[in-house]
């Protein structure tokens, strides 16, 4: 049994090497994959609840809708400490956010949704910006990064509790919005850059050697492998699921 388990793990590692991928920490990919599936489920139920008022969103899904984005941002900060080419990957993620922005404008123009659902600065914009900023943030020790992150979070939460309206229309990425501002998906730099900073500190603490914390788990098993695949492809899944899900639900309902 032990030999069979070792063989499966070796086959998994060999498969990763053959595809040219660097060694990854499987539980990070699996958690990211689980979160992206929860986001898809929450969006599906949200669309359904909007189309059919009799459908109520379960409390667990409401929790994901309210806090899943924060977990994503923290996980992104943690992952930044484990990889390389953060600026390049940040550009890719930010470009994905712009694709969703343009797609939302197109959907409004086609009459598929209202103007309030236009994505002006969503989670992909925020993550891309934070990842591009990471080469500077990584120079800070945890003793500076932790208080910086907490200050940014506190400022952002203060702005959420006491919204500050400004006349300048290009400050909304900071969370300083003008009157009448709406966004279908909104992740302002304040407070979410603070969560990213806390994720960096968490990654340095939990993964100083960049090795898995769960080496005894068989990551080649079907369920962990499926979640890992979703996690590795979370950007593309997130971009594609919105038009596919929206179109499918419109056809069904």
Contact by Cβ (8 Å): 196, 73: yes
pLDDT of residue 251: 75
Instruction: Please give the angle made by the CA atoms of 80, 89 and 221, to the nearest 5 degrees.
Output: 65
Take residue 95 and report the two structure tokens written for it: 């470009």
Q: Rg of the Cα trace of the chain?
A: 20
- pLDDT by residue, tens only, the chain of 253 residues: 445 445 444 444 444 444 334 568 999 999 999 989 888 887 777 777 655 555 566 676 667 667 788 998 999 999 999 988 999 999 999 999 999 999 999 988 988 778 888 999 999 999 999 999 999 999 999 999 999 999 999 999 998 888 888 988 899 999 999 988 999 889 999 999 999 999 999 999 999 999 999 998 988 999 999 999 999 999 999 999 888 887 777 777 6
Question: Does any domain span residue 20?
Answer: no
The parent domain of residue 140 ranges over: 25-208+217-252
Question: Does any domain span residue 133?
Answer: yes
Question: Does any domain span residue 5?
Answer: no
Question: Does any domain span residue 160?
Answer: yes
Dist. CA 222–CA 84, nearest whole Å: 28
Contacts of 16 (CB under 8 A, 6+ apart): 23, 24
Take residue 59 and report the two structure tokens written for it: 């409390």
φ, ψ for residue 177, nearest 5 deg: -105, 155
Residue 210 falls in which region: left (phi positive, over 0), alpha (psi -120 to 50) or beta:
left
Query: Looking at the 3D structure of the chain, how many domains does it have?
Result: 1
Question: Does any domain span residue 235?
Answer: yes
pLDDT of residue 223: 94
CA 167 to chain centre: 30
pLDDT of residue 13: 45
Question: Does any domain span residue 6?
Answer: no
Rounded alpha-carbon distances, angstroms, from residue 150 to 69, 81, 219: 17, 19, 34
**What DSSP letter does each residue of the chain carry, written as one string?**
-HHHHHHHHHHHHHHHHHTTPPP--HHHHHHHHHHHHHHHHHHHHHHHHHH-TT----HHHHHHHHHHHHHHHHHHHHHHTT-S-HHHHHHHHHHHHHHHHHHHHHHHHTTSS-GGG--SB-HHHHHHHHHHHHHHHTTS-HHHHHHHHHHHHHHHHHHHHS--B-S-TT-GGGT-BPTT---SSB--HHHHHHHHHHHHHHHHHH-TT---S-TTS-TTSHHHHHHHHHHHTHHHHHHHHHHHHHHHHHHH-
Contacts of 220 (CB under 8 A, 6+ apart): 8, 9, 11, 12
Q: pTM for the complete prediction?
A: 0.85
């Amino acid at each position: 049994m032990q030999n069979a388990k070792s063989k499966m793990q070796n086959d998994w590692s060999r498969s990763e090497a053959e595809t040219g991928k660097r060694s990854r920490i499987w539980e990070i990919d699996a958690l990211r994959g689980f979160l992206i599936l929860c986001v898809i489920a929450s969006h599906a139920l949200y669309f359904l609840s909007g189309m059919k008022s009799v459908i109520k969103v379960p409390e667990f899904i409401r929790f994901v809708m309210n806090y899943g984005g924060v977990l994503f941002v923290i996980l992104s900060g943690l992952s930044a400490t484990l990889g390389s080419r953060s600026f390049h990957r940040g550009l890719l993620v930010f470009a994905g956010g712009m694709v969703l922005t343009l797609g939302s404008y197109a959907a409004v123009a086609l009459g598929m949704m209202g103007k309030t659902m236009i994505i002006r600065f969503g989670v992909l914009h925020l993550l891309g910006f934070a990842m591009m900023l990471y080469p500077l943030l990584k120079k800070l020790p945890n003793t500076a990064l932790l208080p910086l992150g907490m200050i940014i979070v506190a400022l952002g939460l203060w702005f959420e509790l006491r919204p500050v309206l400004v006349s300048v229309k290009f400050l909304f990425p900071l969370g300083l919005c003008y009157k009448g501002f709406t966004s279908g998906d909104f992740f302002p730099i304040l407070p979410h850059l603070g969560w990213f900073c806390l994720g960096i500190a968490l990654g340095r603490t939990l993964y100083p050697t960049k090795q898995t914390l769960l080496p005894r788990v068989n990551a080649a098993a079907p369920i962990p492998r499926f979640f890992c695949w979703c996690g590795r492809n979370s950007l593309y899944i997130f971009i594609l699921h919105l038009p596919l899900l929206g179109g499918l639900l419109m056809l069904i309902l």
